[in-house]
Structure 1
Amino acid sequence: MNLKKWLGLIGLTLALAAGSAAAQLKAGRDYKPLANPQAVESGEKIQVLEFFWYGCSHCYDLEPILNKWTARLPKDVEFRRVPAIPTERWAPNARTFYTLESLGLLEKLHG
């Protein structure tokens, strides 16, 4: 068997193992349930937050995939974008995001 086939077989094996491992998570063993979960603005809905920066090439590359995913969300899931502000240098982008959101122009100009 040549190297390309071996690498393909190893990759497939790892992908299958990762998929089955995720299905077997157990509370208390694999993760710790929160005693006092943080309240979310969406009430009882599942809230998914995307922290992003306009200058991040990874965020930009993920956007088309994320848009397809958000178009198919179940009714009990709410998705929100949150501009990341780890330094003052990123603050103008965040202010622009929140300004567009407050003016009702976010969907038109953001995505």
Structure 2
Amino acid sequence: MPRIVIENLFNRKINSEASDRKVIELIHENNIDWMHACGKKGRCTSCKMIVLSGMENLNDPNERELFYRKQNRLRANERLSCQSILEKGELRIKVAEINKFPHVEYSE
């Protein structure tokens, strides 16, 4: 069963019955605020997530993510949650400091 753990949101866990779902969809379906300025189209980096473990459980980076990597706007351990598909297993992530909402309480 695919699972997401958001470490700096007090280790919030999201379990999914279905595989092959976009990470941001799973996050939003679980009533968690997650930034996405471009409407989940991969046109910005506001939805980026820092992947702590489980990168191998995601699809390969697509052309949008590779574009931002070339511009140094995405590091090797970062992915766009709107372009990343959780195919299997567990994904441990955290919200990037720059993408934190002021109204959400974060842990560290």
* TM-score (normalizing by structure 1): 0.22
| Greater RCO, 1 or 2 (C-alpha within 8 Å, sep 6+) | 2
- Whose Rg is larger? 1
Bigger fraction of residues in strand: 2
